[in-house]
Structure formats: structure tokens, C-alpha cells
Amino acid sequence: MISTSAAERARYVRESFPAHGLFSGATWRISPEAFPLPRELVAKLEALGPMLLAFYRACNVMYRHSLQGTLPHWIAEYLDAGKPRELIELSRLGRFKSDIPRVIRPDVILTNDHFFITELDSVPGGIGLTGWLGETYAALGDGVIGGARGMLEGFDAAFQKPVSVVVSDEAATYRPEMEWLGQELGFRVMKPEEMAQVLSGRGARSTVYRFFELFDLPNVPNASALLQAAARGEVTVTPPIKPQLEEKMLFAFLWMDTLRSFWREQLGDETLAALREVVPYTWIVDSTPLPPHAVIPELKIHDWHEMGRFSQKQRELVLKISGFSEHAWGSRGVYVGHDLPASGWGEAIQQALGGFATHPFILQRFEKSRSFDQPYFDFEANELRSFRARVRLCPYYFVVEDAARLAGILATVCPADKKILHGMPDAVMAPCRAQP
């Protein structure tokens, strides 16, 4: 189907929705076209995947070397903070030595002259949604990045068969999109209570794609049995049972001068420089007192509390929980400094320092994203409208045969007054296409 009418195109998208939806209870505005990206940017995003794969591998090596004593011990101490001992010990098993996430999704924000990555998500939502959007807009004649079935083919190729996707109650919002994906690819989507057959040890060794965060394990039925089966090699669990690879603080290590030689050895000068261009400067908010003569790099302050006296301009900073917390995903646990009154910013700093031992925070520079006019179809008014907007791009890379392949890009286009960009009813969600 190729249609030139905005109304016809938008109605086709709306009428093509799966019967059970894609996100439980979620709605968004519909654009009549896929989101356009300059070809130069698309090429950069394609090149980003292999660099992020190299970064994950280097972080995996960094943690092991810290345990072995060939890198500073405080690296592993930072990454293990707040995790239960049993989970830490399981993550260190030699069986999992080289395991890394096989789905890589950065959150990419566009500025006026470049882009930057706010974080990496190795248990990302949106895989089924982006796959469905790609198919739907491709049917309208849009040349979506990755192709009509790029997301489906990428997911299918990334994992050893048979595959079972286990979606926890915490992540139930995303169950419909994974069920659509399962119907398309022929794998089963189940609740944790239904894992008995997978864990029985009968038949071929299966892959369990865990759609739940490791902090939520106490609330996931059969989680202990799943981890024990993985430890015995009876099932493959992916993303791997490595909470240290799901910490946002990994970006902070990239900027530490004490680790520069390690990064140069693991990544090479070119990749290191390219990553530093797109990863904002990141600090670990460590409550440990500094010696009298020391200052925090870049901020030039001696104590984190001094940030509470920053002007609104100086507060163009973002505090966020690093990981392993129910507040570390879905745009929760995020505090934008210049969007808060001085008292609120001071409270956020105090919370970050108080939680250091169990829920470390990171601090990043805030970079203003580019604004533009985004069209959408208003079905009630039966007309094409637009709003001033900013966009978050989510490229999805699947690791296949040791290479990270770009399979599709989801654009979440939010009203320009929103400081944190995420799915919401007044946002547009669409696949991306390369501009002619």
C-alpha cells in the first residue's frame, strides 16, 4: 500500500494496530510518515553499534581485571554496591565469563549540531513496537531504517533456539509487544510462573530472554530455579546475569584519567575519542570525603554539597540512580538541576549522597536537545496538525556473529517543554527513515 493522503496514511496506521495493542494501556499521537533522519546521521548511528559492542566487552574485561587486581579494586566495589552477595557470585562464574547483552539500545538525543547518548539499556522495551511500526510504515511506502522486518530478523538471529521470553509483572506493560513479536517469530512469551517446562531439562538447551530487571528477582516466581539452571548450564539466560553491566556509572569510568590507558588498549584511540564525543561527562556521586587539597574533576568543587549553591545556569546537570533499583528505569529517579528550585536540587543531592552505599547515583551534564515542528494527525478534528517538539532516538542493535547490526530506530517525539523525553499520550512514536 502506498498512499499520499496524510489522513489515509494515519488511519491505516491506527487501523493496523494488533487487537491486543502493543503497550498495555498506552496511547500516543500518530504521524502520517516515518521520522526523517539525515543520511549522515544514519551512517553515524550505524557506526555507533560496533563501538558500543566494543564498550560492553571492555566493561566486562574491566570488571574481571578489577577482581583479579590488574585494575584498581574500587572499580568492582562501585559496580557491586547494593547487590546481594548471591547474585554477585553468580555473575562471576567462569561459565559466563564472556557473556554480554545481545540487544544494545542507547538513548540518543539530538542537539543542534550533534547527538549524545544519555544511557544504555540492555533490557529494553520497544523491540516489538519498533518491529510493528517498521512493518506498518514500510507498507505505506516509507523506506524505514533496517527494512520492514529488520527488527524481527535481528531478534530472531541474535539468540540460540528455542527461545522463551519471560515477562515479569513489573514489566507487564511490555507484554503485548513481546506477544506480537512471539506470534511473528514463533517463540513463546510466558509469565515467570510458567517456566517449569523450560527448566525441566528436557529437550534442547533453551534460551530464556529475561524481560525483567535483576533488582526485581525477589518478586519474580521461579527466579531462583532459573538462576540455578543457568549456573548448571542447562539454559542460557540473556541478557546475562551480570548486574555490573547494567549500571549507568559505566559511562563515568570512560572519563576517568586513571583508566585512560585501559580504554586505549581495549578500544583504540579512534573509538575512545568517538565515544567521548557522544557520551556526556559523567561523575559517580561518591560520598567519601576528599583530602583537603582535592577537587571533583570538571566541577572544581571540594564537596558535592557545594552544588546546592549553584546558580540555575550552573545547575544544567542531571542526577540519576545508576542502577539496581526500581527507580532506575522508565525515567524515574532522574532529577534535572535547572528544572528544580534550589531547595529541591539540594534535596536531590542529599538523597544521592545518602544512598551511595546501596544505590549509587551518577551526575551528567545536561545538553539541550534540538527543537522542531512535528506533524501528527488529529482524528477528532480530522486534520493534520503539528507541535513544537524534541526527540529521543532509540536505535536497536542485535549482536549476531560477534557483530552489532542496526535493525531499526524508534523515534519518541515529545512536546518541547518536556525535560525528560519518554513515551506519553501527547508524544508521537514512529520508526525512522533516511531522508532522500
Side chain identity at residue 265, one-letter code: E
**211 forms bridges with which residues in the sheet?**
167
The answer to whether the beta carbons of residues 198 and 235 sit under 8 Å apart is yes
Closest CA to 156 of 203, 207, 192, 113: 207
Return the percent helix, strand and coil in the chain, to nearest 5: 40, 25, 40
How open is the CA angle 240-276-83, to the nearest 5 degrees?
A: 30
The verdict on whether omega for the bond into residue 162 sits within 30 degrees of 0, i.e. cis, is yes
Per-residue pLDDT of the chain (436 residues; tens, 9 = 90+): 555 789 999 999 999 999 888 887 778 999 999 999 999 999 999 999 999 999 999 999 999 999 999 999 999 999 999 999 999 999 999 999 999 999 999 999 999 888 999 999 978 999 999 999 999 999 999 999 999 999 999 999 999 889 999 999 988 999 999 999 999 999 999 999 998 878 866 555 789 999 999 999 999 999 999 999 999 989 999 999 999 999 999 999 999 999 999 999 999 999 999 999 999 999 999 999 999 999 999 999 999 999 999 999 999 999 999 988 776 566 667 999 999 999 999 999 999 999 999 999 999 998 888 999 999 999 999 999 999 999 999 999 999 999 999 999 999 999 998 767 666 788 999 999 999 8
Q: What grid cell was written down for 2?
A: 502506498
Q: What percent of the chain has pLDDT over 70?
A: 96
Q: At what angle do helices 39-68 and 73-80 cross, to 10 degrees?
A: 110
C-beta contacts of 341-347 below 8 A and 24+ residues apart: 342/308, 342/309, 345/307, 345/308, 345/310, 345/315, 346/305, 346/308
| pLDDT tens column, 288-324 | 999 999 999 999 999 999 999 999 999 999 999 998 8
| pLDDT tens column, 160-213 | 889 999 999 988 999 999 999 999 999 999 999 998 878 866 555 789 999 999
pLDDT on residue 45: 97
Please give the helix or strand (H or E) that residue 224 lies within, else none: helix 223-231
DSSP 402: T
DSSP, residue by residue, 227-250: HHHHHTTSEEEES-S-GGGG-TTH
**248 forms bridges with which residues in the sheet?**
none
pLDDT on residue 214: 93
Closest CA to 323 of 314, 332, 315: 332
